Chains A and B, each alone.
Chain A
Amino acid sequence: MIHPQRMPTSECLSGYALDKLLAEELDAAASEHVRGHLAGCTACAARFAEMEALQREFLAEPPAALASRRPSRNSLRVVDGGRSAGRAAGSDEPARSARRSLMPGPRTMAALAGLAAAAVVAMLAWPASTGDHLGEHAGARTKGAIAVALHVEHDGRARPAADGARVHPGDILHFSYTASRPGHLAIVSRDGAGTGSIYLSDGDRAAAITPGSEVAAPTSVVLDDVLGGETLYFLMCHEAIALEPVRRGLEQSAADPVVPGCVIQSMTIEKRALLR
């Protein structure tokens, strides 16, 4: 409620009152009071005109705080319904329907693109050369790197996730990356039950990526109900390596994977049951 009483230094309207008028948030009485003052005060009228001009300028060219960015085209293939997620073609193991991949909608991808910069969970330098045995993000760095960001969607709201993030069954993992040069990217995981899964791939191989900034992966992952710690491994590789051996290796050993020609980083998420 706009109250006419004020400190004795000025009888004019506050910026707050003018902002509320501009935003059409005043009730009829307050609006009449403010407009009445504007009609009789050239100083306040000038201030209000200036605020209106700033508003028009802002609308005409808003700063890019929320600029929607379309994800770049890239060669990652859409995973249909999650049937192929985590399983190589021809595998006789049934797909785990509880953990499925889905395609985020365009609004999600646009919204996530603006947030990805704050959610980098892995920064991988380009592997020194094909054939190098690089099992960790270390050693000689060459030009070029890829940054991978993770957002966790829970109950329709997404938040950036860092190492150790707490998640719940049914949460959705959204990945995005920024790359300065082409390469191949894959994301695999080992969950609390020791089961290996492939979260980002092109079929059964690491996916080819093209340079781009905050490119949203075309598929996301719905977490199943296996609780406990889950380790995600981000592989940046020269070649489109086969991922089923990597996935199987995760199930056979608790050690971090070592893949020739790939730089790998990891992070963990902690899956907890939802308390109702």
Chain B
Amino acid sequence: MPAPGEHVTASNGRSNTDNDGAPSPVSGSPEALSVEEIYRRHGHMVLRRARALLRDDNDALDVLQQIFLSLLDEPERFTGRASVTTWLYRVTTNRCLNRLRDSSTRARLLEQRGASLLAGEPRADATEWAIARQLLDRMPDELAQVTIYHAIDGMTQQEIAEVLGCSRRHVGNLLERARRWARSAEDTSRPPFPRPGRRP
């Protein structure tokens, strides 16, 4: 039966990615952890990141619950090939992205974005990554993931590769594509009305 009695194998050593080019040995012995124990040890991290991505406490709590109830129901989802933190980073990001694409969340985000545009506020930070952050719900999956890891989590390319289970080179390519996507999205999303200080 699943948790509290269920045990999943978790590695407390270095994560072992299953990317093609850069295998990393797992150090230390795998330690069996119950789902409840994983919740207590890592739940704070899931909640913190979900809050940062969704900017809504209720949505973040929903994501937290969904992730751990899924794990309770199907503990085989965690294969043990990566560390618990690595796996939860990936799962949390994916759940939050799905949430961002949900219609009611989308409406709230559009409202927030629209409100700042209508107020004529210049973008607080004109960098492409700031733009990309605002458009996560519209970005293709892979690009949205790397944008989150890079622009919100501040991760290195190697760290992103570890979470995604791919090569660092692939991460570099994805980041470049995300930049280009954000640039073209910015070009099409400029408001038609003048910003403060400019003549119409």
Q: Are the C-beta atoms of A65 and B156 separated by less than 8 Å?
A: no
Q: Does A57 contact B (CB under 8 A)?
A: yes
Cα A27 to Cα B36 in complex, Å, equals 24
Known: A27-B27, A111-B5, A157-B1. A16 touches B40 (CB 8 A): no
Counting residue pairs across A and B whose Cβ atoms lie within 8 Å, the total is 147
Q: Does A227 contact B (CB under 8 A)?
A: no
Instruction: Tell me which residues from 218 to 243 in chain A have a Cβ below 8 Å from any Cβ of chain B.
Output: none
Cα A257 to Cα B70 in complex, Å, equals 36
Which single member of A6, A27, A160 contacts B73 (CB below 8 Å)? Answer: A160
B 81-110 to A, binary, CB cutoff 8 A, 1 in contact else 0:
001111001000000000000000000000
Cα A197 to Cα B50 in complex, Å, equals 47
Known: A23-B85, A66-B35, A66-B39. A14 touches B159 (CB 8 A): yes
Known: A1-B162, A25-B15, A25-B83. A159 touches B73 (CB 8 A): yes
Number of residues on chain A facing chain B (CB within 8 A): 49
Known: A10-B154, A111-B2. A17 touches B39 (CB 8 A): no
Known: A54-B44, A54-B48, A62-B43. A111 touches B65 (CB 8 A): no
Nearest chain A CB to B32 CB, angstrom units = 14
Cα A54 to Cα B43 in complex, Å, equals 10
Q: Does A3 contact B (CB under 8 A)?
A: yes
B85: chain A residues at CB < 8 Å are: 16, 19-20, 23, 25
Q: Are the C-beta atoms of B12 and A105 separated by less than 8 Å?
A: no
Cα A241 to Cα B69 in complex, Å, equals 37
Cα A68 to Cα B72 in complex, Å, equals 12
For residue A50, which residue of chain B has the nearest CB?
B48
Q: Are the C-beta atoms of B5 and A7 separated by less than 8 Å?
A: no
Q: Are the C-beta atoms of A17 and B159 separated by less than 8 Å?
A: yes
- Interface of chain A, helix or strand or loop or mixed? mixed
Q: Are the C-beta atoms of B44 and A24 separated by less than 8 Å?
A: no
Cα A158 to Cα B45 in complex, Å, equals 27
B69: chain A residues at CB < 8 Å are: 65-66, 114-115, 118
Q: Does A55 contact B (CB under 8 A)?
A: yes
B68: chain A residues at CB < 8 Å are: 65-66
For residue B89, which residue of chain A has the nearest CB?
A16
Q: Are the C-beta atoms of A63 and B47 separated by less than 8 Å?
A: yes
A 28-69 to B, binary, CB cutoff 8 A, 1 in contact else 0:
001000000000000000000001001101110011011010
Cα A30 to Cα B6 in complex, Å, equals 31
Q: Are the C-beta atoms of B61 and A16 separated by less than 8 Å?
A: no
Q: Are the C-beta atoms of A110 and B153 separated by less than 8 Å?
A: no
Q: Are the C-beta atoms of B157 and A16 separated by less than 8 Å?
A: no
Which bracket fits the contact residues of B? 35 or more
Instruction: Tell me which residues from 83 to 117 in chain A have a Cβ below 8 Å from any Cβ of chain B.
Output: 104-105, 107-108, 110-111, 114-115
Q: Are the C-beta atoms of B84 and A58 separated by less than 8 Å?
A: no
Q: Are the C-beta atoms of B153 and A14 separated by less than 8 Å?
A: yes
Which single member of A12, A27, A111, A159 contacts B154 (CB below 8 Å)? Answer: A12
Which single member of B49, B72, B86 contacts A111 (CB below 8 Å)? Answer: B72
A13: chain B residues at CB < 8 Å are: 154
Known: A62-B40, A159-B73. A2 touches B159 (CB 8 A): yes
Q: Are the C-beta atoms of B83 and A15 separated by less than 8 Å?
A: no
Q: Does A5 contact B (CB under 8 A)?
A: yes
Q: Does A78 contact B (CB under 8 A)?
A: no
Q: Are the C-beta atoms of B42 and A15 separated by less than 8 Å?
A: no
Nearest chain A CB to B69 CB, angstrom units = 7
Cα A66 to Cα B64 in complex, Å, equals 10
Give the 5 A-B residue pairs with the shortest CB-CB distance, closest first: A58-B44, A3-B158, A65-B65, A6-B156, A14-B155
Interface residues of chain A, those whose CB is within 8 Å of chain B, are 1-7, 10, 12-17, 19-20, 22-27, 30, 51, 54-55, 57-59, 62-63, 65-66, 68, 104-105, 107-108, 110-111, 114-115, 118, 153, 156-160
Given A17-B159, A55-B45; 7 other pairs, CB 8 A cutoff: A2-B158, A14-B154, A14-B156, A27-B27, A51-B48, A63-B43, A115-B72
A-B contact pairs, 12 of them (CB 8 A): A6-B157, A14-B156, A23-B45, A25-B85, A54-B48, A58-B44, A65-B64, A65-B65, A66-B35, A111-B5, A111-B6, A157-B74
